Structure 1
């Protein structure tokens, strides 16, 4: 028995663990799990070693019924109790990797997609770090049962206008119990909208953290009698929820993006990485903004990125370079939203950026104007194109981009595209209230 597993067993014994949740995600990033009753804590050693069979044909984007057997193997590094279930202190959780019964990693496991991308570049000495900023809405219902924001607060408001202070305090405390290093929490721009930022970390750990973050927040707020949504644009006329992703590369303990000898203190690698993000932005949007609703957020007028450009400190561009330098030098991609699967999104962003480095893709000069104030013809004269304006445009861009397709792998790409075609077809044939109001008197 390894020291790590020994410490886990000791902690489980201390907490009186009676149930172990084995958690993984489907192709959308939605958590799934099985709960195993434990007679004694040392049972977990066999589960970690041998895994547990499950029916993969029932998980969207996994396998067909004729090849349904898959195996869940817990990652010991993801062991955690569940602080939002205080009345069930006997429950713990592992995030799992998915395997074929013969022992090969399952190509359709989103966590494997990211691990494969990270391994590809770790052999070259690179460590990829991500710091996401997932925004969310806390919701209530009016007397007629309509979903409404739980308060009327705005950016950085305080109580009594900001009614989310107690929510965020509870959320931060429970997230810290899950070993999150929370940096800041505050009310966001829209009524009922909030943001809790946690410190950047290695990409796999961060992707695991995003899934746990969303799961914990939903569970905690539900116990307080409200509802949480990570839907990108729940309310017309209000800002949507993004998940800006701060990215950096390290090598031998040093930030590859930092160069104190250039005017901007950005290295060539940083600039080429930006070039890769910009070049592959249309296809990236299919993975990082993957729903029909995502493109109702990505419109002018609501602080969301629309134009494919980068800028130093400029929050109107798709890619922003925050002012921090040294170890904190990073690139912020502002198109992702919290409906994305973080494992797939991080893998795609890494491949896009590394393609930029490997092919020395020049991003051009930074854009330091407010691009929202320019017309599309003016921007095109400047060489600035727009992101896809719909899921339909985004998945067609993905079809043409071999780099981002390669990041997903054949299995995930084919399943993802099949699902997105169906999602778009389902959306486009529906008749909405807006259409009745606009066209009924024709």
Structure 2
């Protein structure tokens, strides 16, 4: 079992819930933060929550409910009497809350099937860092300092980290993948050391959007838990280390009609159908607005800069990692797909994955031509028009979403989009008002 910690080894895999006495009810707030309340186990898991403390209700009418989804119930491997269930936020027993993000992923699955006769299939590559320590000292308004100690170091400019052998991170990623597969029903397709120092990547096998979004939240939770057992820290910040690659949440998408992958066309030289090209067209057309949902932090835009395999322009290409949309080389008809590269782990996966699907479907509905694929490094393109440039800040992305959100309306309630922009704008203002250590160093 790859040297799992004693707490994990002692718990054997089982689907039985007979011994569960307590359950962690996990739910996700609007901006993607995982929240948890513990309760005694019963046939129906429903807990009352203060909606004003999670930003979905006013204090004078703040009671909301979280309903556990029984399909997500698992035993926690570090305690034989504890389970975990994922829930949706409800205003009452009659209906889901307008600001519940998990329900958006459920709606987008239904909308795709009912309106287009298509079933979206998604997969993700989730990148993150493992640090020996993250030390942050903040004593407002006088000082702010941050110290990060990577577990290992790569040699700048030599790219020694990518697929490194005998890395200090090996045992951790073995344990994490094993724990996710055996105890949380998450099919980890592969995992490896990434380009940057102390950076890992987990590739999750394709599934329906809701399952993938649940998996992203679960991986973040379990990754931090396993790191805790090993005395280290897992970080999902998009760009924690200057001068190194940041962490992305690359999203792979295909659309299916029954058992047919409609992104495949045997008559095309690359096997890519016109439907797939229209889907790409939708992603590129709405890329600036999508940024607010898929790269939703101030730190996100430290990652989206030239030179670090992160996109900066709304171009697409075959096997091109400098573009916004990449069409990976595929060996089978079933594996033909498109990859959307701007997302990062700070995104709310329920909103991000759903918005990606809605943008692509809008491209199909309007037959949006993506233009010719780019066969050069996107960073070397000159005189790129504004509409083809991804936002350079969170506030710019939010302004784009405020203008361009009509394509989301069949699935995203207006109240949710408006509240999201309001909360994220306040977050941007708060973070921007605090000077960073490097600013103090340079300008003092």
TM-score of the superposed pair, with normalisation by structure 2: 0.89
Q: Does 1:195 align with 2:201?
A: yes
1:246 aligns with one of 246, 252, 271: 252
Aligned residue in 1 for 2:94: 103
Aligned residue in 2 for 1:274: 280
Label 1:142 to 1:56 Cα distance change in 2 as closer, same or farther (>3 A). Answer: closer
Label 1:432 to 1:74 Cα distance change in 2 as closer, same or farther (>3 A). Answer: closer
Contact 2:15–2:74 (CA<8 Å) still a contact in 1? no
Aligned residue in 2 for 1:393: 396
Deviation at 1:437, TM superposition (A): 3.0
Q: Which moved more, 1:329-338 or 1:363-372?
A: 363-372
Counterparts in 2 of 1:34-433, with a 5 A limit?
34-38=37-41, 43-44=42-43, 47-48=44-45, 51-60=46-55, 62-83=56-77, 85=78, 88-123=79-114, 124-141=116-133, 146-153=147-154, 154-159=161-166, 162-177=167-182, 178-324=184-330, 325-375=332-382, 377=383, 379-380=384-385, 385-403=388-406, 405-406=408-409, 407-433=411-437
Deviation at 1:116, TM superposition (A): 1.6
Contact 1:319–1:334 (CA<8 Å) still a contact in 2? yes
Deviation at 1:307, TM superposition (A): 1.1
Q: Which has the higher helix share?
A: 1
Contact 1:309–1:384 (CA<8 Å) still a contact in 2? no
CA distance in structure 1 between the aligned counterparts of 2:221 and 2:21, rounded to whole angstroms: 21
Q: Deviations over 1:196-229 (max 9, x none)?
A: 1120101111111111011001111111100000
CA distance in structure 2 between the aligned counterparts of 1:388 and 1:29, rounded to whole angstroms: 21
Q: Deviations over 1:67-96 (max 9, x none)?
A: 21212222121111122x1xx111111111
* RMSD (Å), alpha carbons: 2.0
1:146 aligned counterpart, secondary structure = strand
Gaps of 5+ in 1: 1-8
TM-score of the superposed pair, with normalisation by structure 1: 0.89
Q: Deviations over 1:24-65 (max 9, x none)?
A: 111122221222224xxxx31xx25xx3332222113x1111
Gaps of 5+ in 2: 1-13, 136-144, 155-160
Contact 2:192–2:202 (CA<8 Å) still a contact in 1? yes
Counterparts in 2 of 1:27-38, with a 5 A limit?
27-38=30-41
Contact 1:140–1:226 (CA<8 Å) still a contact in 2? yes
Deviation at 1:234, TM superposition (A): 0.3
Contact 2:362–2:407 (CA<8 Å) still a contact in 1? no
Deviation at 1:142, TM superposition (A): 9.0
Aligned residue in 1 for 2:11: none
1:115 aligned counterpart, secondary structure = helix
Deviation at 1:281, TM superposition (A): 0.1
Deviation at 1:145, TM superposition (A): 8.4
CA distance in structure 2 between the aligned counterparts of 1:89 and 1:298, rounded to whole angstroms: 43
Q: Deviations over 1:167-199 (max 9, x none)?
A: 011111101112222111111111110111120
Count of equivalent residues: 412
